[in-house]
Amino acid sequence: MSAPNSNYDPVEVSALDPAHVDAALTDALAAIAAATDLDDLKAVRIAHQGDKSPLALANREIGALPPTAKAEAGKRVGQARGKLGQAFAARQSVLETERDERILVEERVDVSVPPLRRHPGARHPIELTAQRLVDAFVGMGWEVAEGPELESEWLNFDALNLGPDHPARQMQDTFFLDPVDSGLVLRTQTSPVQIRTMLEQEPPIYIVAPGKVYRTDDLDATHTPVFHQIECLAIDKGLTMAHLRGALDAFVRIMFGPDTRTRVRANYFPVTEPSMETDFLCFVCHGAETWGTAEQCRTCGGSGWIELGGSGMVNRKVLRTCGIDPDVYSGFAFGLGIERALMLRHGVQGMHEMVEGDIRFSQQFGMGA
Amino acid sequence: MPLSWLAEITDLPEGASGADVAASLVSVGLEEEDLHGGDLTGPLVVGRVLELEETVQKNGKPIRYCVVDVGHHGQQITEGKHQEIVCGATNFEVGDLVVVVLPGAVLPGGFAISARKTYGRMSNGMICAEDEIGLGHDHDGIIVLQRLLGEEVAADLQPGDDVIALLGLADETVETNVTPDRGYCLSVRGLAREYWHSQGSPTGGYRDPAEVEVATGSDGGHPVRLDDETPIDGNAGCDRFVARVVRGIDPMRPTPAWLQKRLTQMGMRPISLAVDVTNYVMLAVGQPLHAYDLAKLDGPIVVRRSRPGETLTTLDDVARKLRPDDLLITDSGERPLAIAGVMGGASSEVDAATVDVLVEAAHFDPTTVARSSRRHRLVTEASKRFERGVDPGVTAAAAQLAVDLLVEHGGGTADPGVTDVDHTTERSAYRLDVTEPSRIVGVDYPRDRVVGILRDLGCVVEESGEGSDDRHVLVTPPSWRPDLDNDSPAPDYAEEVARIDGYHRIPSITPTPSEGRGLTHGQKARRLVADTLAAAGFTEVLSYPFVAEESGDQLGLSTDDDRRRAVRVANPLSEERPLLRTTVLSSLVDVLRRNLARGHKDVAVYEVGLVFRPGGPLARAPIPGVASRPDQASLEQLYAAVPDQPRRAAVVASGQIEQAGWWGPGRAADWSDMVAAVETVAAALAVPVLVASDAGHAPWHPGRCARITLTDGTLVGHAGELHPKVLAALELPARTVAAEFDLDVLSAASEEPVQVRPFSSYPPALTDVALLVAGAVAAADVEAALRAGAGEALERIVLFDVYEGERIEADHRSLAYRLTFRAPDRTLTTDEVNGFRDAAVAAAAQATGAVQR
């Protein structure tokens, strides 16, 4: 910085001439406005704001001025530099915005091209349906019980009040194992899980037992030798058929929606007494009797009701076999085929699709349907 | 059951249809099976065949052009000539009386009849077979009325007579499905009783067809001895035997038309008077009867168990070896005449020359009959009823009904001597708590309602006997309800009360378990594994666990491999697949093959399921009693006899696992995808696993098989590429890859809650090392050594490059690792990190001979 210099005449400095300063500013502003990209602007900045730029040179001359002239010249040059700085910043901002926008445009891709390197996998809907049913009961406080698929004859039949001569035992087509007197079979129902649970647990018992079962039926549209059941068993003090019906109502609402309900009638099953056969209101036509009409409901066949399956109060003999005092505890059991639930709920037409393992079947269901 | 027969026994409301009756029966728990008849409109008339001309068509089928006299109908009215009809059946001759349906009629199923041209000529109607008019299921030719109804009845028929009335075709029949506990409903008597209950059991509305005047037992009848030396479970094979004799029957007498009609309506074929009468009485009251030709019997009837070596040719002309448990009806105790309750023998059969008939009405033990029926694979109308329990109170009445019909229609005379060997015991009364039905059903039934229903059912209810009080009554079930005669009948009575009162009155109360623990760890783990594999790109499928005998060979298992010890199904659906799988892979490959056959090229599937690992021959599972809980030792033995059934998952993939696309070419599934699948699953369960190569584990490629274990060495499973020979044997594409692992092991290993290791917030220090190792050295071993040598500050180690090639020694690999170090309490210095790295490299050098490059 120059020291004040008052003892000699001021020298006319052309760089500080107002006209010169204005011209320098005008040139600079024109150059800024003409800069079309950030590189141009950078060059303009060096030319008009750098050390060698006219205004920088003018600024340097101020120190040589007499004190009386300094203020005015300083003000003039300062204002010009201020304006220039603002113009640079404004232009910089505009050009940066333009550049950013251009880059974003240039980086555009076609996001509609298929992105999956790997085909997504899927769960099998039988497993998903079983989970759905199980979860509903677990949510109500029930627990899941399981057992082996190769099971003892005693647990599969005898303990369920299906003695060797019981007519109902003849209805079942059982896979026996070699040697046939092994006392072992492929279980024909999930009911042996009930027996195992009752033998090993103290009541109250509230279990749901899903699983694979086996019968000697050839595969056709409605039969498969390997299929899936889900059974529920409740043993507690004071349970009645009204509780059984309540559980069945809950069950069909969970599976088929809140508008359905049950209809019950008498039937016979060896494992239960009294026994009950249950239908539920068709969740598609809601019970409209369309039989024989053009609008015949395909889900229920037009009757308005769909057969759910057998149920009943656990036979006292079965309780005794399991060491549970039938004078203290009562209970109920019910079950249904998971394939059937799947067919009803998802419009599956036949067994083949469910058992063949064609990946196109599972893949329609994703990870949970 | 025809409605006309029902109406004889109980009151049918005016205009009640078959559907109404079926619905009423459903309301008391008898399921409808089918409805027949009633849906037919005429004209359906008797015709006499006047002319027939048979030609053989181009397709080899004979066709008859017939002229039939149908009386004053059809072409007789319009054209003044007999009816011209084309017929495809050949079981009739000129002069036969047939059933003709004329244009304008509608047959069951909405089949409208019109005159139409067929085989080149006009057919003005149709000559009918049984099934076409809803009479039965027979379609072996058309009906010839002389054969169906007998010459005598047919003699009275005129061409043009209405067949709908003649054969009772306007009469609807209801077919119901009778459950095993309701044997009495296998009779019109029982069904009518149930229908009466469905109508509220109105007083006087039920007329028991078995209530007839019955000749009581007396001397002089045909001698009968019950001689069962080996009763089953203490129950004698036969506890009542009525024998009646009717002599002098005219064997030429036909069965009356009404009786024939009822048999055909019930789906049975008329045969001869004696046989038809026994069948009719069985249908009426549910008591199977048997008619013997008395002339073919030599001595007394003895009912006994079979002896070794005995045989009997039954009525179906099958020579049967009898078994010791079979209960037999024998002549003088020697010659077998019948398998009791199942089927009679040919040697004493009633035939066209029979004049003297012995009618047997007996009560046989359900178990005995069931066993014989099962042993001889012979299910008959009789065995069905005896198995389910026949009313021991109806025996004599049934015999009487048969005798009366034989006398009336056969012209015979009943012997005065009546044999009735009756060893049945009085049923005992049960002390029923009348509040029990309410307690079991959940509906409040007043005492009067309970007592009223039980009386309607035929029970004797004593309200004042010893043991009765204001809460208890003494109930004795009717003889036709053996199902109610058990040692704890309260639930049975409750069901009866609920059934008759109406199941629709049972309310709906949601049960509320007090506490639930949710899914077990194992159940959650299994879901997680299945979900993880699906999320990793594999599709879940299910396969049947039945595998072929050759499966072990195809998989290249050594002869002593434990996986060859499979359970064999005694009655497999297919002889080609008699074994139960010991690995999931063995049946999953079938699903892969099926998908490939359907044109899927890139398939990656998995299955989670049980395998059956007997480890040796099956143990014999005990069959304890069921009267009470078996003792713990028996239960342990029972559980132990059930073979091991671990839950396993298998994955198999073929073709590209990553597809080609705009990003470049696809990538074929390889061995590493399988190792990755197992590692991904293990990581999802937070279970650390170790991977080592396994050169000797079928069915994998010896150089591309990873053995995956827990850190304690427990085997989890195997993963890699399948052996080329296995792929050839299984007819699968080359380079198919697979993994199989034990879910139970992973589940158990993840059971304990994860204990968190503290982690540092100081900055990490990264350093790379490249190690030259001999080709046979496993990367996993190098990594383990590096970890061991690097010390506790090592946070992470990543193998980021593997190089083999010209720039390094032959048969060597260069493994490049990035090591991340971090201390819990400070920023590590460069010197410290270098020290750790050198220690790691030194450890790797010592363990594997690795040399830093």
Rounded to an integer, the average pLDDT of A51-68 is 84
What mean pLDDT is predicted for residues B353-375?
93
pLDDT at B516 over 90: no
Instruction: Please state the rounded mean pLDDT for residues B717-738.
Output: 97
Provide the shortest C-alpha distance from residue B528 to chain A (in Å). 11
Query: Hey, of A113, A123, A205, A216, which one would you mutate to test binding to chain B, going by the most B CBs within 10 A of its CB?
Result: A123
Whether the ω angle into residue B699 lies within 30 degrees of 0, i.e. cis, is yes
pLDDT of residue A52: 86
Q: What is the mean pLDDT of residues B572-583?
A: 95
Measured CA to CA, the distance from residue B240 to residue A172 in angstroms comes to: 31
**Least confident range of A162-166, B260-264, B601-605, B704-708:** A162-166
Going by C-alpha positions, the residue among B720, B719, B723 that lies closest to residue B556 is B723
How do strand B319-321 and strand B413-414 relate by DSSP bridges?
unpaired
DSSP label at residue B241: E
Cβ B31–A277 below 8 Å, yes or no?
Answer: yes
Interface check for B628 against chain A (CB to CB < 8 A): the answer is: yes
Closest chain B CA to residue A357: B541
ipTM of this predicted structure: 0.86
Strand ranges (DSSP E) for B515-668?
A: 539-540, 546-547, 579-580, 603-610, 647-654, 656-658, 667-668
Q: What is the DSSP string of B714-748?
A: -EEEEEEEEPHHHHHHTT--TT-EEEEEEHHHHHH
Instruction: Confirm or reject contact between B441 and chain A (CB < 8 A).
Output: yes
Closest C-alpha among B733, B657, B595 to residue A357: B595
Contact A190, A231 (CB under 8 A): yes
- Do the chains contact at B539 and A359, CB–CB below 8 Å? yes
Nearest CA in chain A to B438: A240
Q: What is the predicted pLDDT for the residue at B210?
A: 92
- Picking from B232, B441, B495 by the largest number of A CB atoms within 10 A of its own CB, the best residue to mutate is B495
* CA dihedral for B17, B19, B22, B28, sign (positive or negative): negative
Query: Stretch B565-587: mean pLDDT, rounded?
Result: 95
Q: What is the pLDDT of residues A16-47, one digit of tens each?
A: 788 888 888 899 999 999 999 999 999 999 98
Q: Write down the pLDDT at residue B267.
A: 81
Among B761, B758, B836, B757, smallest CA distance to B793 is for B836
Segment B30-72, tens digit of pLDDT: 887 777 766 777 788 999 999 888 888 888 888 889 999 988 8
- Interface touch B537/A149, C-beta < 8 Å: no
CA angle A328, A329, A331 (to 5 degrees): 160
Q: Specify whether the CB–CB gap between A55 and A21 falls below 8 A.
A: yes
Q: By the 8 A CB rule, do B364 and B386 touch?
A: yes
Of B179, B544, B570, the CB nearest to A225: B544
Instruction: Give the pLDDT of residue B485.
Output: 84
Average pLDDT over residues A82-89: 92
CA dihedral B831, B833, B834, B836 (to 10 degrees): 120
Closest by CA position to A336, among listed A208, A193, A192: A208
Contact A175, A186 (CB under 8 A): yes
Q: Do A165 and B499 touch (CB under 8 A)?
A: no
Tell whether A20 lies on the interface with B, counting CB pairs under 8 A.
no
B576/chain A closest Cα distance in angstroms = 14
Structure tokens at B253: 């007498």
φ and ψ at A264, to 5 degrees? -125, 150
B489 interfaces chain A, CB cutoff of 8 Å: no
Chain A contact probe: residue of B504, B506, B568 with most A CBs at under 10 A = B506
Q: Which sign does the torsion angle of CA A179, A180, A181, A184 carry?
A: positive
Chain B closest-CA separation from residue A314 CA (Å): 10
* pLDDT tens string B780-794: 999 999 999 999 999
In angstroms, what separates the C-alpha of A118 from chain B's closest C-alpha? Answer: 5
Distance CA A330, CA B438 (A): 13
Q: What is the dihedral of CA B182, B188, B192, B194, to 10 degrees?
A: 10
Checking if the pLDDT of A4 tops 70, the result is: no
Other CB atoms within 10 A of residue A118 CB: 17
Distance between CA atoms of residues B648 and B609, nearest Å: 6
> Do residues A324 and A198 lie in contact, with contact meaning Cβ atoms separated by under 8 Å?
yes
Query: pLDDT per residue over A295-334, tens digit each?
Result: 788 888 777 888 888 899 999 999 999 999 999 999 999 9
A116 close to B (CB below 8 A)? yes
B284 touches chain A (CB under 8 A): no
> How far is Cα B80 from Cα B622, in angstroms, rounded to an integer?
82
Of A149, A265, A321, nearest to B626 by CB-CB distance is: A321
- Please give the helix or strand (H or E) that residue A211 lies within, else none: strand A205-214
Predicted pLDDT of residue B395: 95
Nearest CA in chain A to B599: A358
pLDDT for position A1: 45
Residues 228-267 of B with CB under 8 A from A: none
A124 to B31: CB separation less than 8 angstroms, yes or no: no
Q: pTM score, two decimals?
A: 0.80
pLDDT band at residue A7 using 50, 70 and 90 as cut-offs: low
Residue type, A97: T
What one-letter code names the amino acid at A152? S
Tokens of A259: 């508008």
Q: What is the pLDDT of residue B137?
A: 60
Instruction: Give pLDDT tens digits for A205-259.
Output: 999 999 999 999 889 888 899 999 999 999 999 999 999 999 999 888 888 888 8
Mean pLDDT value across residues B338-362: 93
CA distance A323 to B627: 10
Note which residues in 191-230 of chain A have CB less than 8 A from chain B.
Answer: 199, 204, 206, 212, 216, 218, 225-226
Q: Is pLDDT of B339 > 70?
A: yes
Q: How far apart are CA B77 and CA B83, in angstroms?
A: 10
* Residue partners of B798: CB distance under 8 A and separation at least 6: B817, B818, B820
Tell me the per-residue pLDDT of B297-322, one tens digit each, with 9 for 90 and over: 999 999 999 999 999 999 999 999 99
For residue A283, is pLDDT > 90? no
Sign of dihedral through CA atoms B99, B104, B107, B111? positive
d(CA A295, CA B279): 44
Q: What b/e string do you get for A153-186 counting C-beta neighbours within 10 Å, with b at 16 or more? A: bbbbbbbbbbbebbbbbbeeebbbbbeeebbbbb
- For residue A144, the chain B residues in CB contact (below 8 A) are 519-520, 523
Q: Does B640 touch chain A (CB under 8 A)?
A: no
pLDDT at A11 over 60: no
Chain A residues with beta carbon closer than 8 angstroms to that of B619:
182
Which chain A residues in 157-196 lie under 8 Å from chain B, judged by CB atoms?
158-159, 161, 163, 165-168, 170, 175-184, 186
DSSP sequence for B355-423: -SEEEEEEEE-HHHHHHHHHHTT---HHHHHHHH---TTSHHHHHHHHHHHHHHHH--EE-S--EEEE-
Cβ-based contacts of B513 with chain A (< 8 Å): 140-142, 204, 206, 234, 236
The phi-psi region of residue A264 (left if phi > 0; otherwise alpha if psi is between -120 and 50; otherwise beta) is beta
| Best CA proximity match to B416, nearest among B244, B233, B572 | B244
Cβ within 8 Å, pair B29-A265: yes
Predicted local distance difference test score (pLDDT) of residue B439: 94
Rounded Cα distance between A35 and A92, Å, is 10
Beta bridge partners, B852, equal: B771
For residue B638, give the nearest of A123, A152, A236 by CB distance: A152
Identify whether the C-beta of residue B577 lies closer than 8 Å to the C-beta of residue B548. Answer: yes
b/e per residue B276-302 (b: at least 16 CB within 10 A) = bbbbbbbbbbbbbbbbbbbebbeeebb
Task: Choose among B367, B530, B535: nearest Cβ to A165.
Answer: B367
Q: Lowest-pLDDT range, A150-159, A281-290, B581-590, B599-608?
A: A281-290
What's the whole-number mean pLDDT along residues B439-457?
A: 95
Could you tell me the pLDDT band of residue B284, with boundaries at 50, 70 and 90? very high
> Residue A13 pLDDT more than 70?
no
Task: Tokens for B646, please give them.
Answer: 């671990």
In chain B, residues with a C-beta closer than 8 Å to the C-beta of A208 are: none
Q: Is B658 on the interface with A (CB under 8 A)?
A: yes
